[in-house]
């Protein structure tokens, strides 16, 4: 099952927060096994995009299926024979049990309820982060004074992982709901801000001068040059930010104990509903995957020029 790799993907995205998130720097490292190394190197910011878009070769496909099958068989054997050699599979449910649980997941009202709660928190936190981070990054890139004011503060706060904000956040905000949304916001905010700023630095100055020669006002520059010119980096930031948002959300839910899929997963352990643990894990993985797919799709829609850039026409 690909749950583990998806979680790893999120984990790696988290490191994109500590280091200055360069394009392609963050999620490139933890590519799952079935992908040949050469491909991993080619696929910068969006490993899954590359994986899905290019369509694996016959050999890669076979190896991929084989390794996943081997993993499932090993898991099945370990839990069937209750493996207990340092790693303990005594309480771990086998893949068949989990499969059964997955098949009936939607009949589980508590599960559905918690998923919806998590989705709402992600939507709120992430969208707020994008709504603040992108404009702030653009303005910081454009106006030196703003950059000089905001940058030191942002650099001071950025290394603090969003999870470390949990206790503080619970104190700051009137409701647990607000504090969890705030932590999700924090997690995605910095990758979005930093990448937008990076995009502003990378923007070719001649494009700005061309626009001004064509009569663009300051407002028009933002709408017609700065924003579209930095969209590629903004979407890198959004992708990384979405990953970190999930990491932060799940941790916050597990700690604060107030609903959500992270809470569901943690609670399953306390309630000795071991199959639900895996159900929660798989669900988190699938949601993470889907949300980055949505961002990628939106990116493709708003950046049509980046789509078929390999196509060479004309003379």
Partner 1 sequence: MSVAPLAGPVAAGGEPTRGHVALRDVHLRFESGRQSIDAVQGFDLEVRPGEFVSLIGPSGCGKSTLLNVVAGFIAPTAGAALVDGEPIRGPGADRGMVFQQYSLFPWKTVRQNVEFGFKMKGVGRARREEAARTLLGIAGLLAFENHYPDQLSGGMRQRVGIVRALATSPRVLLLDEPFGALDAQTRAVMQQILTNMWQKLRISVLFVTHDIEEAIFLSDRIYVMTARPGRLKMMLPVPLPRPRDPAMTSSPQFMALRRTVSDLIREESLKAMGMELGDGLLDGLSIDARGKDLAAML
Which of 193, 241, 183 has its CA nearest to residue 45? Answer: 241
Q: How many angstroms separate the CA atoms of 260 and 119, rounded? A: 8
Q: How far is the CB of 225 from partner 1 (least distance, A)?
A: 7
Of residues 290 and 302, the one with the C-beta less far from partner 1? 302
Tokens representing 24?
């392609």
Cβ of residue 204: shortest distance to partner 1, in angstroms?
Answer: 8
Torsion sign across C-alpha atoms 179, 182, 188, 189: negative
Q: How far apart are CA 36 and CA 85, in angstroms?
A: 31
CB 7 within 8 A of CB 286: no
User: Could you tell me how many residues of this chain bind partner 1 (CB under 8 A)?
Assistant: 26
The pair of three-digit structure tokens given for residue 266, joined into one six-digit string: 């943690």
Binding mask 208-247 for partner 1 (x = CB under 8 A): -xxxxxxxxx--x---xx--xx-x----------------
Instruction: Report yes or no: 161 and 224 within 8 Å, Cβ to Cβ.
Output: no
Q: What tokens appear for 1 in the block?
A: 């099952």
Closer CB to partner 1, 8 or 212, in the complex:
212
As a whole number of Å, the end-to-end CA separation of the chain is 49
- DSSP string for residues in 116-166: HHHHHHHHHHHHHHHHHHHHHHHHHHH-HHHHHHHHHHHHHHTTS-GGGGH
Q: Does residue 144 bind partner 1 (CB under 8 A)?
A: no
Examine residue 301 and tell whether it contacts partner 1 (CB under 8 A).
Answer: no
Tell me, residue by residue from 31 to 50, as one string, x for binding to partner 1 by CB under 8 A and - for no binding. Answer: --------------------
**Candidates 26-34, 61-69, 89-97, 199-207; binding stretch for partner 1 (CB under 8 A):** 199-207
Establish if 171 lies at the interface with partner 1 (CB under 8 A): no
Q: Which helix (H) or strand (E) covers residue 284, if one does? A: helix 274-302
Stretch that binds partner 1, among 29-37, 85-93, 202-210, 255-263 (CB under 8 A): 202-210
* Torsion of Cα atoms, 106 then 109 then 114 then 116, to 10°: 60
If one asks whether residue 300 binds partner 1 (CB under 8 A), the answer comes out as no
* Stretch binding partner 1 (CB under 8 A), from 114-122, 200-208, 234-242, 286-294: 200-208
Confirm or reject binding of residue 282 to partner 1 (CB under 8 A).
Answer: no
| Closest separation in Å from C-beta 241 to partner 1 | 22
Residue with Cβ nearer partner 1 (4 or 223): 223
Q: Confirm or reject binding of residue 313 to partner 1 (CB under 8 A).
A: yes
- Tell me how far, at minimum, the Cβ of 228 lies from partner 1, in Å: 4
Residue 94 or 299: the one with the smaller Cβ distance to partner 1 is 299
Angle at 241 between CA 230 and CA 295, to 5 degrees: 70
Write down the least CB distance from residue 207 to partner 1, Å: 6
Binding residues for partner 1, per CB under 8 A? 204, 206-207, 209-217, 220, 224-225, 228-229, 231, 303, 305, 309, 311-315
């Amino acid at each position: 099952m690909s749950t583990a790799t998806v979680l790893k993907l999120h984990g790696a995205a988290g490191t994109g927060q500590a280091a200055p998130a360069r394009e392609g720097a963050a999620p490139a490292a933890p590519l799952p096994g079935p992908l040949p190394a050469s491909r991993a190197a080619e696929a910068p910011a969006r490993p899954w995009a590359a994986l899905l878009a290019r369509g694996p070769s016959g050999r890669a496909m076979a190896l991929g299926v084989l390794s996943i099958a081997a993993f499932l068989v090993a898991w099945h054997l370990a839990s069937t024979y209750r493996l207990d050699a340092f790693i303990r599979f005594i309480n771990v449910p086998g893949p068949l049990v989990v499969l059964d649980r997955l098949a009936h997941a939607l009949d589980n009202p508590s599960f559905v309820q918690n998923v919806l709660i998590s989705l709402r928190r992600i939507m709120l936190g992430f969208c707020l982060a994008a709504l603040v981070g992108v404009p702030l990054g653009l303005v910081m890139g454009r106006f030196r004074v703003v950059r000089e004011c905001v940058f030191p503060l942002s650099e001071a706060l950025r290394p603090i992982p969003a999870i470390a904000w949990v206790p503080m956040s619970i104190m700051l905000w009137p409701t647990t709901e607000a504090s969890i949304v705030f932590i999700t916001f924090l997690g995605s905010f910095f990758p979005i801000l930093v990448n937008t700023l990076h995009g502003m630095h990378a923007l070719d100055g001649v494009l700005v001068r061309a626009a001004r020669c064509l009569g663009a006002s300051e407002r028009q520059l933002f709408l017609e040059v700065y924003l579209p010119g930095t969209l590629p980096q903004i979407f890198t930031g959004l992708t990384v930010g979405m990953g970190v948002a999930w990491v932060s959300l799940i941790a916050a839910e597990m700690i604060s104990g107030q609903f959500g899929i992270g809470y569901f997963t943690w609670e399953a352990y306390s309630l000795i509903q071991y199959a639900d643990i895996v159900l929660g894990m798989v669900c988190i993985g699938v949601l993470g995957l889907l949300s980055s797919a949505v961002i990628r799709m939106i990116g493709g829609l708003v950046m049509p020029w980046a789509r078929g850039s390999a196509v060479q026409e004309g003379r």
